[in-house]
Amino acid sequence: MFSGASHLSVDAKGRLAIPTRYRDALGSAAVITADPSGCLLLFPLDAWTPFEARVSSLPNLNPRIKSLQRLWLGYRSDLEIDNAGRVLISPELRDYAKFDRKVQMIGQGDRFELWSELGWQAQIELAQRTMREDPPAELAGLSV
């Protein structure tokens, strides 16, 4: 289970160093893809496989589902984690997520979200505004 946030940097070649605390759980191979929210999703291979099967089995005659399949399956890329714990993110995926040098890596259970610095800041502001103005009913009994 991945959780936590890490501030990372993408080097000039498009490589991203995975924090040491996640390397063993991530394994030696991973999958990365685009997400409609504007971030990239980074999965361990064993978490990607059932996700891909579920997405592939959805009825692609529905245009909204087809759009999601185009992103999740169309941008899918296998990653190898090198001996230094780095992954190479393709220029297409870096462009899609509007990556600069700074990236936010956010644990989300069985996967990570990779956000540009500006994209992540916008998500934080959206979450804060939502909780102030229109908190989801499902959170009514939850206290932190």
Q: In whole numbers, what is the pLDDT of the chain averaged over residues?
A: 94
Q: How long a stretch of residues is the chain? A: 144
Tell me, yes or no, whether 139 lies in a domain: no
**Is 61 a domain residue?**
yes
- What total number of domains does the chain contain? 1
Residues facing 88 on adjacent strands: 15
Domain extent at residue 67: 5-133
Sheet holding 112-116, edge to edge: 5-9, 102-107, 112-116, 40-44, 29-34, 77-80
Question: For residue 32, is it within any domain?
Answer: yes
Whole-angstrom distance, CA of residue 129 vs CA of residue 107: 22
DSSP per residue over 70-84, as a string? HHHHHS-EEEE--TT
Tell me if the pTM is above 0.75: yes
Q: Is residue 142 part of a domain?
A: no
pLDDT of residue 113: 98
CATH of the domain at 108: 3.40.1550.20
* Model confidence pLDDT, tens digit, residues 32-88: 999 999 999 999 999 999 999 999 999 989 999 999 999 999 999 999 999 999 999
* 86-129: pLDDT as tens digits: 999 999 999 999 999 999 999 999 999 999 999 999 999 999 99
